[in-house]
Amino acid sequence: MKALVGVAAAAVIAAVVGTSPVPGVGLVPIQQFEHAKHEGVGCTTCHANVAQGQVYPEPSFCAACHDGQMQPRVDWRPPTGPSRANLKFRHSVHPGVSSCDMCHVSGGTVQRAVISQCQACHGIEGEHMDAAVSDCSVCHVQPPAPPSHAFDWRGRHAVNAAAAPEQCATCHVRADCLDCHRQDAASPAGGYHGVDYLQRHPAASYNRETECSSCHNVSQFCQSCHRQAGLVSAGAIGAGYHDGNASFIAGHAQAARQNLESCVACHTERDCLRCHVSFNPHGPGFDPGAYAGKNQQVCTVCHTAVPNPD
């Protein structure tokens, strides 16, 4: 008896709610649309305007069935505002994809686009997010630089980039690296080095702000400019560029061993060999056996008898 009363009460309440003129009362909130429950409804019944960029259906489409008579009413509104994803996919430019199933069905369930299907058509066979081997920009707009890149990042990124290149590859492709790591001879001020660097580069080089040879070939880049400016050795060692220090040649060994890459920017090998065929240039860390064991060629520039590697 109690059960019958309960059923009757529920039926009355349901009838009242179902015919309620007050909007929203008794609507079932929708958190996650279940495509499986709507198997009998074709895709285009709800997603009719997808080619016009309207991915989500109008709420009125739902009400065609969920009218409170055939099916319970539902409370659903399409999300508003810009997409949270950085996809730039548009259905309208994929006319060759004739069936929704081709991209949106995997394992028998309807879901967001199956990435491997996108990649298969776009000729990208690598893993998703393996940016080193694919073009992210095919499907994604690239995001702005993250906070980690906020200040002087270009000057300090080397350790991170060397130790964890996959992190860089999340956003960057190899062409981005080559924009700086292969010098662009005509890059105007404000590139990698920033404005005024032409004026500042002697001090920056001597003070090891960066190592020039990491990106520049000193023979091609530094030496050719220094030659035009009259800043290369012209043969008169001791009376030339270092005229601010009268005894430079006599005590230059310390400066040379500290900053040999700077010497090389102006001097050729023959400049140094003019004296050093007679004066021993070898210093700390020099192991003649190591050279002699694998490549004796450079030894023969000065030595007629090559050291025994043993």
Partner 1 sequence: MRRSVVRAAAAVGGLLVLAAPLHAQGYHVRWNTWFQSVAYRGVQQDSILAASAVAVPGGGFETPDGFAVSCPAGATYCGFFRPGAEQRGMPVVSTIDASVWGLGIEGLKFHVKGRVGGDLEDGGFWPGVEPEVQLIEGYAEYVKRDVTVQAGRTTVFSRLGYLGLDGGQVSVRPLRGKLRLRAYGGWALAEGAVLPITSPELNPLGEFRPTQRELAFGGSVGWNLAAFEGRVLYRRDFDPGADLVSGERGAAEAAIRPGAGFTVAGGVEYDFLTGNWGTHDVMVRYRHPGGLADVTVGERRYRPYFPVWSIWGVFSPVGYNREYAAAAVYPMAGLVLRTEGYLFNYEDTEAQTPLGVFEDGGWNWSAGGTYSGVQNFVFDANYRAQFGPGASSQGFDGRVTYRRDLFAVTARGGRLERPLEYRFSDAEVWSYGLRVDVEPMPGIYLNAEAIRYDETRERPDAAQLDWDQTRFSVGATLVFGSSGSRWRGLHPAILRLPETRRSR
| Footprint of partner 1 on 67-106 (CB under 8 A) | 82, 86, 88
Residue in this structure with the two tokens 């008794």, named with its chain if needed: 26
185 lies in the site for partner 1, by CB under 8 A: yes
Query: Which is nearest to 263 in space by CA: 298, 303, 231?
Result: 231
Residues in 267-306 at the binding interface with partner 1, rule: CB under 8 A: 268-270, 272-273, 276, 281-287, 290-291, 294-298, 301
Q: CB 281 → partner 1: shortest distance, Å?
A: 5
Residue type, position 155, single letter? G
Of the pair 67, 196, the CB lying nearest partner 1 is at 196
DSSP, collapsed to helix, strand or coil, labels residue 87 as strand
Residue type, position 79, single letter? P
Of the pair 67, 179, the CB lying nearest partner 1 is at 179
Q: Which of 16, 198, 275, 306 binds partner 1 (CB under 8 A)?
A: 198
Q: CB 300 → partner 1: shortest distance, Å?
A: 10
108 lies in the site for partner 1, by CB under 8 A: no
Query: Which is nearest to 205 in space by CA: 249, 197, 154, 223?
Result: 197
Cα 302 from Cα 270, distance rounded (Å): 12
Residues in 7-66 at the binding interface with partner 1, rule: CB under 8 A: none
Of the pair 76, 221, the CB lying nearest partner 1 is at 221
Distances (CA, A) of 135 to 78, 87, 180: 31, 13, 20
Query: DSSP strand E in 26-120: where?
Result: 28-29, 74-75, 105-106, 109-110
Q: CB 196 → partner 1: shortest distance, Å?
A: 6
225 lies in the site for partner 1, by CB under 8 A: yes
Q: Which of 14, 30, 260, 306 binds partner 1 (CB under 8 A)?
A: 260
